[in-house]
Structure 1
Amino acid sequence: MTAVETTAATTGHRTVTGRLWWRPDRAGTPIVLALVLIVGSLVFGDSFASGRNLGNIALDSSYLLLIATGMTFVVLSGGIDLSVGSLLALSGVLTAYGAQWGTLTAVLLPLAVCGVIGLVNGLLIGTAGIAPFIVTLASLLFARGLAFAVADEGNKVHLIPADLALTRLGQARWLGLSAPVWFALVVFAAAVVVLNRTRFGQSTFAVGDNLEAAGLMGLPTARVRVLVYVVSALLTGIAGVLVAAQTQSGLPTIGEGRELEAIAAVVIGGTLLTGGAGSLAGTLAGVLLLKVIQNLINQVGTLTSYYQQVVSGTFLIVVVLIQSRLTRRRMR
């Protein structure tokens, strides 16, 4: 028996959370999502259920799905990453800035910078033992400040030429869906395999479930905690590249509040904030639910942004209550 398998047997979580794609107590989000889709189709008709509108929802969801996928790894390990919103903006700005030297630089520059910031986050948390909240809050401020610095304090918007390969790729459509949607789905599928079928994924669950026990079992706990923040930063960097390619620009103001949105998607998808239990399937459902709700609110058109937040918050509470009910029923 390997160290990971031993930890699974000891903690009692890993054998349930890592192997199974689906669990009954995580059905709350998909149930609410299905109900919302049905109600939206009945109330708003083609304005909501049209292929064009659903395609817009898919495009908007693709960016959040990339960020939330990385956040799932972090939360499963028992951490939190508040820097992703600022990293999204920084990645977009660096993409547009690097576009003057071609597509390769426009892609590699933001990914390299985001990867380094994620590595620093991971080292401070996994090796130095500093609280994730403090480290990633500092990174949030650093990345946002750097984004504004590259954009000349927000006074200069770097534009990406329309004839650049990156722009054509970011704005392409395949089988009726925008290219970023396909990129997000491919990355998501790869993440599912990594989380459920690799030693790193198994260790992520074990570390989040019980850090001390995982260490005693010989798992590389520090390395796992470093890697999850690198994964989170890189996936956010990819999202930033795609946003910049889609809009042909890099704005330092984008991404505000995206960290909370990503955390919300992960949590309402059934992943415990304490770590050790959850799934990427739930995260996908959480992302779609958030974006469908936002789209329905926009369909109404008469609600101010403040009331939109009230409605969104109410839906989140409903989902959490349903999941809590299902969890208690399963434990009986």
Structure 2
Amino acid sequence: MGRLDTARLVRAIGRYGVLLALVVLILFGWLRYENFLGSYNVLSVLRYNSMFALVALGMCFVIITGGIDLSVGSTAALGSVVAALLSPYGVLPGLLGGLAAGFAVGAINAFVIIRLNILPFIATLATMLAASGCALLLANNQSVSVSYESGFTELGQGDFLGFPIPAWIGLVAYLAGSLVLNLTAFGRTVLAVGGNEDATRLMGLPTTRVKAAVYILSGALAGLAGVILAAQFGAGQPIEGVGWELFAIASVVVGGTLLTGGVGSVGSTLAGVLLLGLIFNILNFENGLGWISLSAYWQSVIRGALLLVVVAIQARLVARSDDVHA
């Protein structure tokens, strides 16, 4: 095998490994559990994980640029509270309110990172704390019930053509995200910034605008996830969203996006979300069989272990690819 063929194989393993793992997991669940692929379970998984899919999509764009956004969980919580407070006025005000809250947090992140030259880790850590505090203040430190009369809950609990509305929203978002990343100048600039920001700037590409846009996009998508959270559970949740940023990062990295930036895939990120979601779904089935009894806290343990393993494998693949190109 020549150097070029080896390099292609390394990239293929990194990008399509998550798809293979997802197929294996689906086959395992289908063979082991009754009704695993039944419509109720499949639609429930899609409905619930649509929130995480939206947050992971925004995180994908941020990480591709070489950044990080730790504020997405708190932003989703803030978006859910704002949406719940506005839900008595109708579906549109609730939806736009949650989106606006996420947009505002994303814009603050962009300003602090780009204009004040603060590291993304520190900047988004600060906005994570601020957004969480704002959510608690607006909600009076309690859940905020949504209006059922306005039809707002249809955004989270309703179906369209037999498919959950949150899943439709996630599907449209991922199709748009894939088209943007792969077929537009903006997407190419996102990849270029992650590969080498200084070289991208010297080429005359709009690095500043692109970096600002990805953080605003991440915030807006987190706000939209918060809208779905409020609509799906019937209440704005100011203390929800804890650990969502880790789920999003894990999904993106498991999907083959490099934490160092410059390489990433929207489709593989979605596969990463589904993979993690199905792992937790399988844990629930196992608890139901009675062979094991694992609490919800094991989800965090598994998520952390999986992230560590994938990052270690990713580092080995990158090192091997560098050796191939040397």
Q: TM-score, normalised by structure 2?
A: 0.88
Q: Tell me which of 59, 73, 77 is aligned to 1:85.
A: 73
Question: What is residue 45 of structure 2 aligned with on the other side?
Answer: 57
Residue 273 of structure 1 pairs with residue 262 of structure 2: no
Specify whether residues 305 and 78 from structure 1 end up closer, same or farther in structure 2 by C-alpha distance, changes over 3 A only. same
Q: Deviations over 1:48-80 (max 9, x none)?
A: 222211111111221111111111110011100
**SS at the partner of 1:194?**
helix
Q: Tell me which of 59, 76, 84 is aligned to 1:96.
A: 84
Can you give the 5+ residue segments of structure 1 that lack an aligned partner in the other structure? Answer: 1-15
Can you give the 5+ residue segments of structure 2 that lack an aligned partner in the other structure? Answer: 1-6, 288-292
CA distance in 2, matches of 1:218, 1:66: 31
- The answer (yes or no) to whether the contact 1:28–1:326 under 8 Å persists in 2 is no
- The answer (yes or no) to whether the contact 1:86–1:144 under 8 Å persists in 2 is yes
Question: What is residue 295 of structure 2 aligned with on the other side?
Answer: 304
Query: Shift of residue 163 of structure 1?
Result: 2.2
Residue 236 of structure 1 pairs with residue 222 of structure 2: yes
Question: What is residue 4 of structure 1 aligned with on the other side?
Answer: none
CA distance in 2, matches of 1:221, 1:198: 15
- The answer (yes or no) to whether the contact 1:86–1:255 under 8 Å persists in 2 is yes
Aligned length: 310
CA distance in 2, matches of 1:322, 1:52: 35
Q: Deviations over 1:163-195 (max 9, x none)?
A: 213223432212332100001101111111111
CA RMSD of aligned residues (A): 2.2
Q: Tell me which of 145, 165, 174 is aligned to 2:151.
A: 165
Letter in structure 2 aligned against 1:123: F
Specify whether residues 264 and 85 from structure 1 end up closer, same or farther in structure 2 by C-alpha distance, changes over 3 A only. same
Greater than 3 Å deviation, 4+ residue runs: 22-25, 305-332
CA distance in 2, matches of 1:306, 1:172: 29
Specify whether residues 308 and 232 from structure 1 end up closer, same or farther in structure 2 by C-alpha distance, changes over 3 A only. closer
Letter in structure 2 aligned against 1:131: L
Residue 29 of structure 1 pairs with residue 39 of structure 2: no
Question: What is residue 198 of structure 1 aligned with on the other side?
Answer: 184
CA distance in 2, matches of 1:258, 1:63: 9
- The answer (yes or no) to whether the contact 1:125–1:225 under 8 Å persists in 2 is no
Q: Tell me which of 90, 97, 107 is aligned to 2:95.
A: 107
Letter in structure 2 aligned against 1:76: I
- The answer (yes or no) to whether the contact 1:115–1:234 under 8 Å persists in 2 is yes
Query: Larger deviation: 238-247 or 279-288?
Result: 238-247
Specify whether residues 168 and 194 from structure 1 end up closer, same or farther in structure 2 by C-alpha distance, changes over 3 A only. same
- The answer (yes or no) to whether the contact 2:88–2:150 under 8 Å persists in 1 is no
Specify whether residues 281 and 179 from structure 1 end up closer, same or farther in structure 2 by C-alpha distance, changes over 3 A only. same
Specify whether residues 79 and 315 from structure 1 end up closer, same or farther in structure 2 by C-alpha distance, changes over 3 A only. closer
Specify whether residues 65 and 222 from structure 1 end up closer, same or farther in structure 2 by C-alpha distance, changes over 3 A only. same
Q: Percent identity?
A: 43
Q: Tell me which of 135, 138, 143 is aligned to 2:126.
A: 138
Letter in structure 2 aligned against 1:65: A
Q: TM-score, normalised by structure 1?
A: 0.87
Residue 251 of structure 1 pairs with residue 237 of structure 2: yes
CA distance in 2, matches of 1:130, 1:319: 28
Question: What is residue 206 of structure 2 aligned with on the other side?
Answer: 220
